[in-house]
A and B are shown apart, each in its own frame.
Chain A
Amino acid sequence: METASKKSFITSDIMKNAIIGAFKKLNPIYMIKNPVMFVVEIGFILVLLLTIFPNLLDSGAGEKDRLYNAIVAIVLFVTILFANFAESIAEGRGKAQVQTLKNTKTATKVRVLLENGQEVMKQAHELKKGDIVLVQAGEVIPNDGEVIDGIATVDESAITGESAPVVKERGGDFSSVTGGTTVTSDWLMVEITALPGESFLDKMIALIEGASRKKTPNEIALNTLLVSLTIIFLLVVVTLYPMTVYLDVHIPIATLIALTVCLIPSTIGGLLSAIGIAGMDRVTQFNVIAMSGRAVEACGDVDTLILDKTGTITYGNRMASEFSPVNGVEISKLIRAAWLSSLTDDTPEGKSILLLACELLVDTTHEGLIIEKSDHISFTAQTRMSGLNMQDGTKIRKGAYDSIKNESLAAGQVIPKDLEQLVHRVSSVGGTPLVVSVNDKILGVIFLKDIVKPGLKERFDQLRAMGIKTIMCTGDNPLTAASIAKEAGVDGFIAESKPEDKIKVIKDEQALGKIVAMTGDGTNDAPALAQANVGLAMNSGTNAAKEAANMVDLDSNPTKIIEVVEIGKQLLMTRGALTTFSIANDVAKYFAIIPAMLMVAIPEMNALNVMMLNSPTSAIISALIFNAVIIPLLIPIAMKGVNYKPMSASKLLSKNLFIYGLGGLLAPFIGIKLIDLIIGPILQIMGL
């Protein structure tokens, strides 16, 4: 999360391209896709015509009107540019990411193995599904595929940003390779599973570029609302004209157009597509590829999160957390023995024992000497213990309870009476006991524990406040599972779970009307990923899993689903907040424009000029300028999304209503007044 937000917001390069883009997008064929802004453009063209030919619609219009029309035309033009700029800048940020990806796609010629075993060179774009290619060290894998033979390290930094190469081999969870990654050692025989141009990388590029960006369902629904509001306000202004004619109230056409533009939701209309692009972009910056915008939106609705215990809730490995000596043995003696037993143990468990022992007291001098002078006894499935035989003949062991006990009994030692109790205590809370002996005399027990990732409990509390339930899946026995579940603070758990159980849980939750998200990596997770409303697959996982999911995490960090849920919510919230802001703005604009446009014919209207604006002209132009300027001012919010902290729906609503509803009501009163204070005198000098 940190690295993503630290990326610079806008570079000068993006800025330059965005400005050019803003002008390119003025093309009406492009503009018509955004009906709200299209109306503004039509208005601009009309006022522009009226600037050139002031008498086109109003006979008897003079030079003064020409100047007024020109000013309105300029402000309208700037309004459209601002909206286009917002969209360009969102696209620009995506494009910058794409450029790095595109640079990695350099495989041109590939070795294809024919059925008869012959080797033929082909162009990369000629590859078909099912072709078998041979990729050697230093070469780029041409397209997505499954390893069918060979074992090699592959550099996937191009898509994951992770520089350490990954081992790929036939079968299992590490058999899928991605086009665009580089084989760094040995060779692989790969069966191609994607068509050229449809590889994972291609999809990713298209998504980020926004070229293939389809409007998401919610965006379409919101767009419908905005278009309807536009139609309503168009009707309001169009029907106003004959009424004013009937009442002999003269209103310049440019003013009516200004009124229309101010009333239609041009703020949200101008920023809507930028919000969508930026939302997807935020997901991508987390190194998560969403297959569709719909998936990101669905994230915002998630009610139930299904999480694997290992790797997601706890670290993959168990860690030492406590030393418990048997009666009559000093704890320092046990710690020393445990430390010695693990000196040559390279497993993560062993390392964690060293770490804990050092923290507690052990004198680590002569460490190198001891290692050098001792015989290392490594763990085997038969002995189920490890340790070392020191130079002086001291035999230090740690291992499973049964093995050490038997060894100790065989050596004629007495088993301490409280040992069984200690061992039982550890396993009853979900830990793994390791018994330590020196020369077959049992000293005590090391408590190996599943360590819940720090901060997760708070995360789950936040999720609960947001109304999201968490369910943990684990292969552990119910006792262990319950204890971990309690420690992590999840709402439910499924112990001794098999992959089929996950689907069952998902289906059960869905039957209760819940929207379910889950993470998975293995092939056997694929059906569950497909069944879930939101499935996040790990990039390290199999192709089957990735295809079944609607999102792929390139960093293969299962905890990320929580962040993705937050991004989904943030995307929807940004739309809602800016829509509310945009609609609330209309009140102030009415108070600026309506009295202003009627004041000439009905002087009593001045009573409604609550902002005490300089002159009718100044009031209308101030409202119009505010309407234009607010778009670039809101671009940062559109890009970054509204500030979001997990809290209950009711609190969130009141907070956002206060900021964007009440704020949207009041801000334009202040803004229009300020602009009026500046431009009022200027307009007066110009004689308007």
Chain B
Amino acid sequence: MWQIAIILAIYLPLVILAGHYLFRVTMNENTWLDPVFDKIDGIIYRVSGIKQVDMTGKQYVFTLILSNAFMVFIGYLLLRIQSALFLNPNGIDNMEATLSFNTIISFMTNTNLQHYSGESGLSYMSQMLIIIFMMFTSAATGYAACMAFCRRLVAKTDTLGNFFVDLVRIITRVLMPISFVVAIILVAQGSPQTFSANKTVETIEGKMQDIALGPVASLESIKHIGTNGGGFYGANSTTPFENPTVFSNIIEILSMMLLPGACVVAFSLMVAHRRKKTIFGKQGLAIFTAMGVLFLIGLVTVTVAERAGNPLISNLGITQELGSMEGKEMRFGVEQSALFTAVTTAFTTGSVNNMHDTLTPIGGLVPMFNMMLNVVFGGKGVGLMNMMMYVLLTIFIACLMIGRTPQFLGKKIEEKEMKLIALCILIHPAIILLFSALAVATTAGVAGITNPGAHGLSQVLYEYASSSANNGSGFEGLADNSTFWNVTTGLAMFFGRYVTIILQLAIASLLAKKIWYSDTVGTLKTDNAMFTTLLVAIVLLIGALTFLPALSLGPITEHLKIYYR
């Protein structure tokens, strides 16, 4: 337990620091790095012709979609012709159409669901120009959307911020510098960073083996910083090249956790900024605590479940003293694996350092549940926006309970907003449940399922939860590179990302244009322990109740069958 405790203890000061920096970058306030970055950004603006004009909410979201669509188009094209292009020392072939569709949507939506294996499916050029490029832009897109959202919540106008400027500033001032530092650390730990072709070596057993190489460390760093999660290799962060040591494991865990948490701090500072300087800000602290509580519930559950191991295996006379080690790396053990699992799904990264398919049923339920809620910190930026939907919903109910019409940060939540909020909350379970039902009801879907019974259903639920939450981790074991799975998960990722962002920015725009009312003793306090408790309860009630029937057929049945046979 102490390993987890220490990592979380290091995390807290880091996230506050990063939050303050993010706040300054977002609100165009001075930082000590300005002299350098102002010049770099200036050049980029001039070369690309970006005019720093404020956009309305509508313009902002339109620009966001259009620029993403453009990147998708270019990326798709490159994947389809990669064999003929440069930086392809291993002679990788062009990617198939539906797989390309899935891959490009996957990376543009910050999901990084991989139905291919990097070492055999992508050239170095694709890894860098598509995968790493999109890892930066998709993370920046999510964060830009979130900041456009947050700025509108605290502003009194809908015309503020420019998408392109936000995108550039986030990449140059936040993602690039941090990724650079992390990549250097990973190289020091043993990750390769090279353009040389794969090496074929003779092993101690005297057999020949291909050792896949490439620009791994640079991908690895943004993969976690941007909560992307797509590995250079198919086996992701379980492999020694992507995640060589316990130290690199800790760095990767902290990298994933850094920016999603910092978003909450930045938002909190925006709310508090009008009044006074503060370290964290009460509003964000309330939301951060709620996310933290949900995260800890999951973390403790998965750790306990993995430690307990599987009694059926114990009955066979195989010791479970180290916990359930099936599918885990010896160098990480149960604790570092459980923490990685909880973090990668809560923070919606999707990289894995152990096989989630072989987690105990309850251990496997936790990552699934984190993605189904999609608000436990969540992906960079979007996680906060998703949580804000529940915050608004909680406010709606709580305000009624004290006899006020619902109001947040001085803006009334009325019919129009409520419609969009409800739609936002509805869309995620709808995508997961409808596609899962479709998969188990069609032969094309069932063909991909490799396990019978309850575990088969768990695989399906996990895959769509991962897609819709834009997480990208796989339960694995699913034969998912087929037209059916490529197309349906592609659509799940697409809707899960863009419909939600459009709706959320629409809500923020509506609120930004509203009359502002002041807070008094009679208005609801949204920044105290009571509110946090209520928020957690509402997330669990609405989020959990929605998935309970499906989960009871999957992992819960699996668990009961192990323990109550």
Contacts and interface: CB of A to CB of B under 8 A. Distances in A.
B119 to A, nearest CB: 34
Contacts of A605: 552, 557, 560
A46 interface: no
A247 B457 contact: yes
Interface string B376-403: 0000000000000000010011111111
Given A221-B418, A303-B522, A653-B524, A584 B405 contact: no
Contacts of B54: none
Interface in A562-590: 568-573, 575-577, 579-580, 583-584, 586-587, 590
B528 A217 contact: no
Interface stretch (A117-125, A169-177, A202-210, A656-664): A656-664
A514 B441 CA distance: 56
B177 interface: no
B560 A604 contact: yes
Given A245-B441, A303-B518, A607 B560 contact: yes
Contact of A649 (B429, B523, B542, B547): B523
A235 B433 contact: yes
A222 B429 contact: no
Interface in B421-439: 422-423, 425-426, 429-430, 433-434, 436-438
A20 interface: no
A687 to B, nearest CB: 28
A654 B524 CA distance: 11
B316 interface: no
Interface in A239-282: 239-247, 249, 259, 263
Contacts of A570: 403
Interface in A283-330: 297-298, 300-301, 303
B550 A243 contact: yes
B418 A224 contact: yes
Q: Chain B: interface residue count, which band?
A: 35 or more
Nearest to B557: A602
A598 B552 contact: yes
Contacts of A221: 396, 406, 413-415, 417-418
A344 to B, nearest CB: 51
B250 interface: no
Contacts of A650: 525, 528, 530
Interface residues of A, number: 79
Interface string B446-458: 1000000110110
A303 B520 contact: yes
Interface stretch (A179-187, A361-369, A462-470): A462-470
A330 to B, nearest CB: 52
Contacts of A575: 400
Interface in B531-565: 534, 537, 541-542, 545-550, 552-553, 556-557, 560-561, 563-565
Contacts of A247: 453-454, 457, 553
B521 A466 contact: yes
A570 B400 CA distance: 9
A611 interface: no
A603 B271 CA distance: 52
A577 B522 CA distance: 17
A576 B401 contact: yes
Interface stretch (A29-37, A140-148, A225-233): A225-233
A662 to B, nearest CB: 10
A239 B434 contact: yes
A644 B404 CA distance: 13
Interface in A637-687: 644, 648-650, 652-654, 656-657, 660-661
Contact of B403 (A227, A232, A239, A572): A572
A300 B422 contact: no
A604 B564 CA distance: 6
B410 A217 contact: no
A603 to B, nearest CB: 8
A167 B525 CA distance: 51
A220 interface: yes
A661 B535 CA distance: 13
Contact of A300 (B405, B426, B456, B547): B405
A236 B549 CA distance: 7
A568 B400 CA distance: 11
B171 to A, nearest CB: 36
B331 interface: no
Contacts of A577: 400-401
23 contacts: A217-B405, A217-B415, A221-B415, A221-B417, A222-B396, A232-B429, A236-B433, A236-B549, A239-B437, A241-B437, A242-B440, A243-B440, A245-B440, A246-B457, A466-B521, A467-B523, A580-B401, A583-B542, A594-B549, A605-B557, A649-B524, A650-B525, A661-B537
